[in-house]
Amino acid sequence: MTEDAKKLAVSSESQPPKPQAPPPSKAKKKAKQEESLFDIIKTVVSVVAIVLVVRTFVFEPFNIPSGSMKPTLLVGDFVFVSKFSYGISKFSFPWIRPPFSGRILGSLPTRGDVVVFKLPRDTSVDYIKRIVGLPGDRIQMIDGVLNINGEPVKLQQVEDGVDPDYHGHASVHQFIETLPNGVQHPIFKHDGVNPLDNTAVFTVPEGKVFAMGDNRDNSLDSRVPPQEDGVGFVPVENLVGRAEVRWFSFDDQKPWYYGPFGVRWSRLFTGVH
C-alpha cells in the first residue's frame, strides 16, 4: 500500500461516524397528522361551498319524471337549469327558504322558455313546463290551437311521433308550434277531442305567467285550476330557473340493468328549446 493510501485509510478511520437524525417525536407526528386532517377538512369545506354556490346561483340538475313535456323532454331525461335566468327568489335556495318575497334582480321569462317552477298549490313540488303567456296576455285554446291575444299561433304538421305511454297508442300527431316572438318548438296532439282543446279566455294577472306542457293532451298545466289538481297561473316568484341542457337520458322503458344499452346517447348534452 502506498504512503498516500495509508494516510487516507488512517484519516477515514479516525473520522467519527455521522450522527443519525433523531426519530420524530410523538408531538411532531401528532402535529403533522392534525395539519393533514385540517387540510382535508379545508378541501372538503371548499368543495361543499362551491357546490352550494353553484346549486344556488348557477345550475341545478333536475330529472324528468312525467311525459307532459314530450316530445321536447322525455321521461328519464336529466336537465341542467340555469338558476340566475330570472333573478333570485326564496325558491332559488336549496334546503332553506330565506324570509323575503319577490325576486332580486328579477326579470320575466321569454315566451317559449322551458322553466322549472314550484307548484303554486304545493311549493314542495317541482314542475317543468313551457311559458306561453306573460302578464297581461289573453290565452285561450280553440279547437286544440293555442290563441294568444286573440291570434292563433302557427302550426305546421310534421312526421308523426311515438308516445308509448298514451293508453297503448304508439302513434301521435306532431306539430311545430311558432309563438308570436318567433320561438319554435314541437308539440304532441292525439286523435279525438280533449276537454282542454277548448277553454275560456285566461287573462294572465300581473306578477304571474301561463305555463303549458308540449304534450298538449296529457298535461295538467295552467289550463287546469289548482282546485282541480292543476297548476293555474304561476307566480313569477315561483320560478326556479330555465332548462338549458339535457346532460343525460335513460330510456325508462328499459330496466336499470341494461346499463349503457338504455342510455339515449343522441340526447346527451343537447340544448332544450
Residues annotated as catalytic (active site), given as ranges:
68, 129
Distance in angstroms (rounded) separating the CA atoms of residues 264 and 254: 11
H helical segments located in the chain: 3-14, 26-53
Contacts of 246 (CB under 8 A, 6+ apart): 73, 77, 78, 79, 267, 268, 269, 270, 271, 272
Q: By C-alpha distance, which of 263, 249, 205, 262 is closest to 61? A: 249
Tell me the residue ranges of DSSP E strands in the chain: 59-63, 77-82, 114-119, 122-133, 138-142, 145-148, 151-152, 154-166, 169-178, 184-189, 202-203, 208-212, 234-235, 239-249, 270-271
H helical segments located in 78-229: none
Helices (H) and strands (E) in the chain, counts: 2, 15
